[in-house]
A and B are shown apart, each in its own frame.
Chain A
Amino acid sequence: MIELFKFFKKKETSKDVAKERLKLVLIHDRSNVSPQFLEMVKSEIIKVIQNYMEIDEDALDIQLTRTNSDDGERIVPALVANIPIKGMKNIGR
């Protein structure tokens, strides 16, 4: 059913792709966030999480991207972190 729906949905035009890509790249440009800044955020996050969990530091990925707002009406910038957990620590449990 879903596949069928997709089939009938209008094909995404190249200008739609262009617009999407532009919006994404401008979020980075406008936020003035340097790679160094992200590295700093990343190392702080690692420090905090490591108090509670064992994580795979090398696989940790943190990015500035965007997402739908809660009301679903706007697109807002978002900090997305993918942090693979290897195991939990015992403190605090």
Chain B
Amino acid sequence: MGEVIVITSGKGGVGKTTTTANLGTGIAMQGKKVVLIDTDIGLRNLDVVMGLENRIVYDLVDVIEGQCRLKQALIKDKRYDGLYLLPAPQTRDKNSVAPHQMVTLCNELRQEFDYILIDCPAGIEQGFKNAIAGADRAVVVTTPEVSAVRDADRIIGLLEANEIRNPHLIVNRVRPDMVKRGDMMSIEDIIDILAIGLIGVIPDDENIIISTNRGEPVVSDSKSLAGQAYRNITRRIMGEEVPLMNFNTSDGFLAKMKKLFGIKPA
């Protein structure tokens, strides 16, 4: 039986779609079967981030309305065995999906896949409710900014209210140089405030933009910092213990940051 994980944040533009694409690809690279569902109806994005935009025929709402079979709508990523995408419709209304339909869909996908990752839209309205309806667990993405952390806090409360307990936190777009000079909240600051478990930290990395330009998730780029960070998170999602930063180390700052992102010191 597969596991359903929703990637959510409240605020837009913090890295939900990027994270869904990378964790999905990362899981497939580990040899598991995974399907990514884009629930951002009307603002479909996961397809372009994955580089699969030219292969869409059917979408999420077609499946839910029975216009096609589930199998027909799943786009297989030819680069990785076991990686599939269920795209969002671009010209439909958010209300064309109801939470109970998402639950049914997720339960059907569980039979076939090890992991079902749900890319949640921004906001706390219908799209959010649909995205979390069938989820067993949640990953909350934030950035080290007041507005993003505030929204993450709100989302954590709403997940709790919907009985999705112990969500995991990803802090995205961290700039070690800014943290060092006191111009960006540190990971400790954010965990202190949100009080949930950290599953990983992604640096602000231009390689994300470069890889997104090409439609190839950065997780497959062995040299980039962000790629390494996503590979570590992938393994943690799958239950492996991958060490985070050792906070008591006497290493220099750069070595610490490299550790934090999981790069072995030279």
Contacts and interface: CB of A to CB of B under 8 A. Distances in A.
B182 A15 contact: yes
A16 B193 contact: no
Q: How large is the interface on B (under 10, 10 to 19, 20 to 34, 35 or more residues)?
A: 10 to 19
Q: Interface SS of chain B: helix, strand, loop or mixed?
A: helix
Interface residues of A, number: 13
Nearest to A20: B146
Nearest to A12: B182
Interface string A1-44: 00000000000011110110111011001100000000000000
Interface stretch (B92-100, B147-155, B198-206, B219-227): B147-155
B193 A30 contact: no
Contacts of A14: 182-183
Nearest to B194: A26
Contacts of B264: none
B189 A15 contact: yes
B142 to A, nearest CB: 11
A19 B179 CA distance: 13
Contacts of B185: 15, 18-19, 22
23 contacts: A13-B182, A13-B183, A14-B182, A15-B179, A15-B183, A15-B184, A15-B185, A15-B189, A18-B145, A19-B193, A21-B146, A22-B146, A22-B149, A22-B150, A22-B193, A23-B193, A25-B146, A25-B150, A26-B193, A29-B150, A29-B154, A30-B153, A30-B157
Interface of A: 13-16, 18-19, 21-23, 25-26, 29-30
